[in-house]
Structure 1
Amino acid sequence: MTLRRIFTQALLVCLVSTAVLCVFKFTAKATPPSGLSFTLVGRATLPEFRVKRKDKALDWEMEMEAEQPVDLATQIVTFQPGGFSGWHTHPGPVFFTVRTGSLTVYEGNDPTCSPHIFTAGTGAVEAATSNHIHMVRNETGSIAEAVVTYIVPVGANPLRTDLPDPGNSNCPF
């Protein structure tokens, strides 16, 4: 083996080792949930649809459309005291209702990391886009439950994707 070949192989080993170390050092770690349990209530594939409803007497209007079949899945998510979802997103829109207790939502793109508090009987629509990063926390001493309905592409699994901490130093956790 020539000196040049030995040098080339040694250089290649160094470069590969450095690249591997950089990947491990600089890969952001996902923030998985803690203190949560998920109970699937049901999941079904729905055909494409267009729904438009209007009630003039109530001054109410709603429109929803799926141009291809979608999966509709509903879960009960139980948060133990201090439990949290971790930073995450979803592959489609999510409707959630707090069934018991109180939950606090933080938005990953909010520079102030302001808490949005939802108590039993309230809720919201999440994940208007696939890059909507958020965290849900039970900041109370009691168990909280949410009923969560996902509208996702057929076969989408998982219903959530854990993401790294967006690095907002204003978040209190």
Structure 2
Amino acid sequence: MKQWFPVAMTVALGSAIVVPGTAAATPSSGIEAETLVQSTLDGKDYVTRELTVAPGGTTGWHYHPGQVFGVIKQGTLTHYRGDCSVDGVYNAGDAISEGSGDGYIHEGRNEGPVPLVMTVLYIKPAGSPLAVDAPNPGCPFE
């Protein structure tokens, strides 16, 4: 079943996490996700999803509580780190892995003219969210 991809799975019904004294979380836009397979083993959830990001779409700023591995099937992913620099541009056939924890806030964007399609494997502590929304760390684009 296709559904809109809520970047912060920690908050029911897509609400944003707001941390006192900081700006509100940045929402995703233009993203659909389909869960392909999901299982739990030895205290870890394994979730494989296919993400489709429309041209101009973004994941919003976020971090992951577990490991993330992906393969780009179509289009181009431009990946920004929390210091606003591009830490990778990934094209069809490229693999990507992301760091975990709140020290690795990042954003993925489709800055190309065609939909970005990628398959992503999340390996995370059982019951934890796939991702946690974060405020823009001060980057001039949104």
Structure showing greater relative contact order (alpha-carbon pairs closer than 8 Å, 6 or more residues apart): 2
1:85 lines up with 2:59 in the alignment = yes
AA of the residue aligned to 1:28: A
Are 1:32 and 1:162, in contact at CA under 8 Å, matched by a contact in 2?
yes
Stretch of structure 1 that moved more, 76-85 or 160-169 = 160-169
| CA distance, structure 2, for counterparts of residue 24 and residue 125 of structure 1 | 27
**2:140 is equivalent to residue 166 of structure 1:** no
Q: Indicate which of 43, 66, 77 corresponds to 1:103.
A: 77
State the aligned residue count: 125
Identity of aligned residues (%): 39
**Once the 2 structures are TM-superposed, how far is the Cα of residue 27 of structure 1 from its aligned partner?**
3.9
The aligned counterpart of 1:74 is: 48
Q: CA distance change for structure 1 residues 121 and 87 in 2, over 3 Å: closer, same or farther?
A: same
What is the aligned-residue RMSD (CA, Å)?
2.1
| Structure 1 residue 85, shift from structure 2 partner | 0.4
The TM-score with structure 2 as length reference comes to 0.80
Partner SS, residue 159 of structure 1 = coil
Contact 2:65 / 2:100 at 8 angstroms: preserved in 1? no
Q: Which runs of 5+ in 1 are unaligned?
A: 1-22, 48-68
Structure 1, 113-122 or 24-33: larger mean CA deviation: 24-33
**TM-score of the superposed pair, with normalisation by structure 1:** 0.66
Give 1:129 shift. 3.4
The equivalent of 1:147 in structure 2 is 119
- For 1:163 and 1:87, the matched residues in 2 are separated by 5
Structure with the higher helix share, 1 or 2: 1
Gaps (5+ residues) in structure 2? 1-17
Conserved 8 A contact 1:92-1:130:
no
- Out of 79, 87, 110, the position equivalent to 1:138 is 110
